[in-house]
């Protein structure tokens, strides 16, 4: 059954100002160009979308502040101050959870010694190992793997294909999307004698003389600890630590296809966007933002509240509250200056060519 809210109820929930009829029932959110039914709520919080209201079928719209709504286009509008915050509230009000039959499916395997909290749902063909703990009110979709001794807090939502390694500890209200891997061994190897990477780090030279004759595996014993209110996107991998655990702080949000190496320490309320790669032993402070496809070299420290621009390569420490970008990453002002200077190179070359032509002419001119 679809959800339905009156315009007055929506205005109250959103903390907005209702102008017009408060009794209209809204059953769906819609882009103004896609509004096709009188029950659609047209989201016109971007000023560029306001003209589309005139041709839509929706009776209700949400707009930003004192935006000018086309006359006669809707019967009610809700004026709001923070459109993105309102979008968060609206989408959560109208969202419907993916259905999973309550209780433990007959095909799920729960090993002896596992502890399953009250009101837990475990989908078909999922596995919970011996000694694992699943907190109350958690939902595991079909084909989820929870290794022995792993601990998951209450109210978790774990989608199909997620793998949680042995001994991983996760806090409350955790969300993991499809095919996330948590707690695999770190990518950690050593050569019996000095290898190429060790040589380059030691002498900084441009030629390699050492050879990697073999690789000895360094086992990962440290585990992985994830705080409360963390959400992790699809196909993301987080390795456990070598001796001490890899840690993800409370409230941090991690996008799809992110790789987080062994021993990494990530603070609270960080935002890590898609395809970011973080090498081993990196320390990320609180409230840091890592833009899409950024890469961070091993043992780097990133300070609190720093912002790393998309597709940056971070090779050195980053100060708190700084904005860096580029490859290698540097302060944003320097990056923009270098881009500006590069754009001027063509005109400089033309001027240099003209100067060379004049010099050539002068040299060809007979002397008196």
First to last CA, the chain: 100
On whether residue 35 sits in a domain, the answer given is: yes
Return per-residue pLDDT of the chain as tens, 368 residues. 579 999 999 999 999 999 999 999 999 999 999 998 889 999 999 999 999 999 888 999 999 999 999 999 999 999 999 999 999 999 999 999 999 999 999 999 999 999 999 999 999 999 999 999 999 999 999 999 999 999 999 999 999 999 999 999 999 999 999 999 999 999 999 999 999 988 988 888 789 999 999 999 999 999 999 999 999 999 999 999 999 999 999 999 999 999 999 999 999 999 999 999 999 999 999 999 999 999 999 999 999 999 999 999 999 999 999 999 999 999 988 888 887 787 878 888 888 888 888 888 888 776 65
Residue that has been written with the tokens 């709520």 in this structure? 41
CATH number at 48 reads: 3.40.1390.10
Question: Does 262 qualify as catalytic in the annotation?
Answer: yes
Q: What is the pLDDT of residues 208-253, one digit of tens each?
A: 999 999 999 999 999 999 999 999 999 999 999 999 999 999 999 9
Q: What is the pLDDT of residues 175-193, one digit of tens each?
A: 999 999 999 999 999 999 9
On whether residue 125 sits in a domain, the answer given is: no
On whether residue 61 sits in a domain, the answer given is: yes
Question: 198 near 216, Cβ under 8 Å?
Answer: no
Handedness of CA 359, 364, 365, 367 (dihedral sign): positive
On whether residue 278 sits in a domain, the answer given is: no
On whether residue 89 sits in a domain, the answer given is: yes
Q: Round to whole Å and give the CA distance between 244 and 223.
A: 7
Task: List the one residue out of 319, 347, 323, 318 whose CA is nearest residue 335.
Answer: 323
On whether residue 206 sits in a domain, the answer given is: no
| Residue 281: how many other CB atoms lie within 10 Å | 19
Domain count, the chain: 1
Phi, psi for 90 (deg, rounded to 5): -65, -50
Sort 43 into a burial class: Cβ within 10 Å, 0-12 / 13-18 / 19+: buried
Sort 88 into a burial class: Cβ within 10 Å, 0-12 / 13-18 / 19+: exposed
Q: Round to whole Å and give the CA distance between 233 and 254.
A: 6
Q: In what order do the strands lie in the sheet with 265-266?
A: 115-116, 133-134, 151-152, 169-170, 224-226, 246-248, 265-266, 283-284, 301-302
CA angle 52, 55, 57 (to 5 degrees): 110
On whether residue 18 sits in a domain, the answer given is: yes
Task: List the one residue out of 199, 161, 200 whose CA is nearest residue 179.
Answer: 161
On whether residue 52 sits in a domain, the answer given is: yes
Long-range contact pairs involving 276-280 (C-beta distance under 8 Å, separation at least 24): 280/186, 280/187, 280/188, 280/239
Catalytic residue among 105, 141, 262, 299: 262
Domain interval for residue 45: 5-94
Question: 268 near 252, Cβ under 8 Å?
Answer: yes
């Amino acid at each position: 059954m679809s959800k339905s809210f009156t315009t007055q109820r929506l205005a109250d929930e959103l903390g907005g100002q209702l102008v017009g009829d408060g009794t209209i029932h809204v059953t769906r959110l819609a882009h103004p160009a896609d509004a096709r039914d009188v029950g659609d709520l047209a989201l016109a919080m971007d000023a560029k979308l306001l003209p589309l209201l005139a041709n839509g079928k929706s009776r209700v719209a949400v707009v930003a502040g004192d935006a000018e709504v086309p006359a006669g286009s809707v019967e009610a509008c809700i004026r709001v101050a923070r459109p993105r915050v309102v979008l968060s509230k609206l989408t959560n009000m109208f969202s419907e959870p993916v259905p999973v039959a309550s209780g433990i499916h007959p095909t799920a395997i729960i090993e002896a010694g596992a502890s399953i909290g009250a009101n837990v749902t475990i989908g078909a063909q999922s596995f919970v190992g011996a000694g694992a703990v699943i907190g109350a009110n958690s939902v595991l979709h079909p084909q989820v793997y929870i290794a022995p001794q792993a601990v998951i807090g209450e109210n978790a939502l774990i989608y199909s294909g997620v793998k949680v390694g042995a001994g991983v500890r996760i806090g409350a209200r955790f969300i993991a999307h499809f095919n996330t891997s948590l707690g695999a061994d770190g990518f950690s190897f050593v050569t019996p004698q000095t290898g190429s990477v060790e040589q380059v780090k030691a002498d900084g030279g441009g030629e390699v003389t050492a050879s990697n004759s073999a690789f000895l595996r360094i086992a990962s014993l440290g585990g992985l600890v994830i705080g409360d209110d963390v959400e992790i996107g699809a196909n993301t991998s987080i390795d456990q630590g070598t001796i001490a655990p890899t840690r993800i702080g409370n409230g941090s949000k991690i996008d799809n296809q992110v790789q987080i190496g062994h021993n990494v320490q990530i603070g609270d309320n960080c935002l890590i966007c898609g395809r970011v790669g973080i090498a081993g032993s990196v320390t990320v402070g609180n409230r840091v933002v890592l833009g899409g496809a950024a890469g961070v070299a091993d043992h780097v420290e990133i300070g609190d509240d720093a912002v790393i621009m998309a597709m940056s390569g971070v090779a050195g420490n980053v100060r708190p509250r700084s904005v860096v970008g580029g490859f290698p990453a540097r302060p944003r002002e320097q990056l923009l200056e270098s881009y500006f200077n590069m754009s001027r190179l063509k005109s400089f070359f033309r001027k240099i060519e003209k100067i060379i032509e004049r010099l050539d002419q002068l040299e060809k001119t007979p002397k008196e």
